[in-house]
Amino acid sequence: MRRGDLLIIVPAYNEEESLPAVLVEIREAVPDAEILVVNDGSTDATSRVARAAGVLVADLPINLGIGGAMQTGYRFARRRGSSVAVQVDADGQHDPREIPKLLAPIREGRASLAVGSRYAAPSGYRSTPLRRVGAALLSWIVSTLTGVAVRDTTSGFRAADRRVIDAYARLYPVDYPEVEALVYLHRQGLRIVEIPVVMRERRGGRSSITARRAIYYMAKVPIASVIGALRGRERP
Amino acid sequence: MGTVAPIQAIAILASLGFLALIVNLVRKRRLAEEYSLLWLLVGIAFVAISVFRGLIEQIARLLGIFYAPSAIFLIAIFFIVWLLLRFSLIVSDLARKNRVLAQEIALLRLEMDERTGVESAGEVEKP
């Protein structure tokens, strides 16, 4: 396989604790893949531990948030000419051994984007009732707008083909982008499929989600999704 | 126009001062060209309103507003909302451009690292 044909994008913001183990696991799971860590302006040693692991590191000079960091990865993938890009969280929630499962529908041409879902399979993943209500609402929005039943709309464990790489390199939503990114792809006429995966608890560091942000998220995402649906197909 | 009430004197002085401030900011190139005209017009409007006391009443009558001061509020609020929207548009555009630049810098540095084989050690100067 050509260098960079399969690219694993790992967006990381202050993940020095969990990142090294995640990178080792990715290497074991997909030895042929090229790994890119997008360091989103971390204030800790994220960049250093990633470089020590011998992977590619793109250091953003300022913190752009997950949307801006992901788009950096997709822009790199486009320049590299990668045919598949997989995004994996740096906190260890995603098990790299599940990557081949996400790759299968892409390689077989069944879909352009494969989303790893924690709800589509029984797993050890713990969730609160409030979270489940929120997840159900987002899922309903995405299903209504796209006609695709996606249960884990906020999952950042995704595999993308060349067309998705192209679309995301051109435009990636900012500010809690996961849901909008799905709606956007659907508008581009690209097919999405959800694949059940087992997710784990984060290994170290801490989640950026606070109660206030969760409320903002639940207000912002539905509005943004509906506006997104009004946009129709766009070529930015 | 009649006698000059203290409040009118204050209003004239304040609006002249505002106009002088704008002119000075433009002169020093601290205010971008595209806004300078706008703010100069605002400054001139302030002066005009405070010098000609009857102006507001006339505008109010034209608009069919019975209580003249509400004409000022109406115009001011419309103007401020419009200006805020404009600024939001400009800020959004700047944020987008800023994001693209940051991404380009990160990718160029990565490319440089790859070409030279020397790591830039990941140290990013904080602004």
Determine, for residues A59 and B114 on separate chains, whether the beta-carbon distance falls below 8 Å: no
State the pairing for strand pair A6-12/A34-39: parallel
Which residues on adjacent β-strands are paired with residue A199? A94
Domain that holds residue A164: 6-231
Is the pLDDT reported for residue A55 higher than 50?
yes
Res A205: pLDDT: 61
Which range has the worst mean pLDDT, A89-98, A178-187, A205-214, B87-96?
A205-214
Find the DSSP H helices in chain A: 19-29, 46-52, 65-80, 99-107, 129-146, 162-170, 178-187, 211-231
Determine, for residues A76 and B114 on separate chains, whether the beta-carbon distance falls below 8 Å: no
What is the pTM assigned to this prediction?
0.82
| Number of domains comprising chain A | 1
Flag whether A129 is in a domain: yes
Flag whether A169 is in a domain: yes
**A87 vs A224: which has the higher pLDDT:** A87
Interface test with B, best of A72, A79, A82 (most B CBs within 10 A): A72
Which tens digit of pLDDT belongs to each residue from B16-32?
999 999 889 888 888 88
CA distance A57 to A9: 10
Q: What is the band of A202 on the pLDDT scale with cuts at 50, 70, 90? A: low
Contact B65, B74 (CB under 8 A): yes
Residue A184 has phi, psi (to 5 degrees) of -60, -45
**Among the partner residues A59, A64, A71, nearest to B124 by beta-carbon distance:** A59
Determine if residue A138 is left, alpha or beta; phi over 0 gives left, psi from -120 to 50 gives alpha, anything else beta.
Answer: alpha
Q: Which amino acid is at B66?
A: F
What integer best gives the mean pLDDT of chain A?
87
Q: A81 is written with which tokens?
A: 């000419």
Q: What is the band of A175 on the pLDDT scale with cuts at 50, 70, 90? A: confident
**Among the partner residues B109, B114, B127, nearest to A59 by beta-carbon distance:** B109
Is the pLDDT reported for residue A200 higher than 90?
no
Chain A partners within 8 Å of B113 (Cβ): 57
Res A150: pLDDT: 86
Q: Collect contacts of B9-14 with beta carbons under 8 A, ≥24 apart.
A: B11/B49, B11/B50, B12/B47, B12/B50, B12/B51, B14/B46, B14/B50
A211 touches chain B (CB under 8 A): no
Is the pLDDT reported for residue A167 higher than 80?
yes
A55 touches chain B (CB under 8 A): no
Query: DSSP labels for A71-128?
Result: HHHHHHHHHHT-SEEEE--TTS-B-GGGHHHHHHHHHTTS-SEEEEESSSS--S----
Average pLDDT over residues B49-67: 87
Res A154: pLDDT: 85
Is the pLDDT reported for residue A21 higher than 80?
yes
Flag whether A236 is in a domain: no
Ranked by mean pLDDT, the top range of A181-190, A204-213, B29-38 is A181-190
Ranked by mean pLDDT, the top range of A7-21, A121-135, B59-73 is A7-21
Is the pLDDT reported for residue B99 higher than 90?
yes
Flag whether A161 is in a domain: yes
Flag whether A64 is in a domain: yes
Res A192: pLDDT: 93
Which CATH number is A48's domain given?
3.90.550.10
Res B1: pLDDT: 47
Flag whether A218 is in a domain: yes
**A220 vs B99: which has the higher pLDDT:** B99
CA distance A148 to A118: 16
- Chain B segment 57-116 residues within 8 A of A by beta carbon are 98-99, 102-103, 105-107, 109-110, 113-114
Residue A88: exposure state from Cβ atoms within 10 A (0-12, 13-18, ≥19): buried
Residue A67: exposure state from Cβ atoms within 10 A (0-12, 13-18, ≥19): buried
Res A131: pLDDT: 77
- Longest Cα–Cα distance of chain B, Å, equals 82
Res B58: pLDDT: 87
Sheet containing A192-196: which strands, arranged edge to edge?
A56-59, A34-39, A6-12, A84-87, A158-161, A113-117, A192-196
Determine, for residues B107 and A79 on separate chains, whether the beta-carbon distance falls below 8 Å: yes
**A130 vs A62: which has the higher pLDDT:** A62
Which tens digit of pLDDT belongs to each residue from A156-166?
899 999 999 99
Name residues whose C-beta falls within 8 Å of residue A182's C-beta, 6 or more positions apart in sequence. A113, A115, A142, A146, A150, A153, A192
Name residues whose C-beta falls within 8 Å of residue A8's C-beta, 6 or more positions apart in sequence. A26, A30, A33, A34, A35, A36, A85, A86, A87, A88, A96, A99
Is the pLDDT reported for residue A123 higher than 60?
no
Is the pLDDT reported for residue B57 higher than 90?
no
**Among the partner residues A48, A51, A59, nearest to B106 by beta-carbon distance:** A59
Which tens digit of pLDDT belongs to each residue from A136-146?
888 888 888 88
Complex-level ipTM: 0.85
Find the DSSP H helices in chain B: 6-27, 33-51, 54-63, 68-116
Determine, for residues A72 and B103 on separate chains, whether the beta-carbon distance falls below 8 Å: yes
Is the pLDDT reported for residue A44 higher than 70?
yes
Res B38: pLDDT: 85
